Amino acid sequence: GVCPFGLKTPLPVYCDISMKPFDVVVPAAGSIHSAVRISPDRMAKLTSAEWVDVCEVRD
């Protein structure tokens, strides 16, 4: 994925519903030193993301 924060050009942001069970996700901007711990719901709200179901979850 791509970090949804600080995009140079406004783009639509999509969050896959497979992230919802996690308490925290860690989107990064290409470096382990530029990551943030955030709940999936908070990240979606801050980025005006649309929730989608595109990921295949494997057992």
pLDDT value at residue 31: 75
Q: Is residue 27 a part of any domain in this protein? A: yes
**Is residue 37 helix, strand or coil?**
coil
Q: Is residue 2 a part of any domain in this protein? A: no
Which element (helix H / strand E) includes 44?
Answer: helix 40-46
Q: Is residue 34 a part of any domain in this protein? A: yes
Which element (helix H / strand E) includes 29?
Answer: none
pLDDT higher than threshold 80 for residue 2: no
10 Å CB burial of residue 49 (0-12, 13-18, 19+) is middle
Q: Is residue 59 a part of any domain in this protein? A: no
pLDDT higher than threshold 70 for residue 1: no
pLDDT value at residue 40: 96
Q: Is residue 25 a part of any domain in this protein? A: yes
Domain housing 46: 14-52
Give tens-digit pLDDT for 20-55.
Answer: 999 999 988 777 788 889 999 999 999 999 999 998
Distance (Å, whole) CA 52 – CA 30 = 24
Q: What total number of domains does the chain contain?
A: 1
Q: Is residue 47 a part of any domain in this protein? A: yes
| Model pTM score | 0.80
Q: Is residue 24 a part of any domain in this protein? A: yes
Would you state the torsion angle of the CA atoms of residues 39, 43, 45, 50, taken in this order, to the nearest 10 degrees?
-110
Q: Which residue has the higher pLDDT, 18 or 35?
A: 18
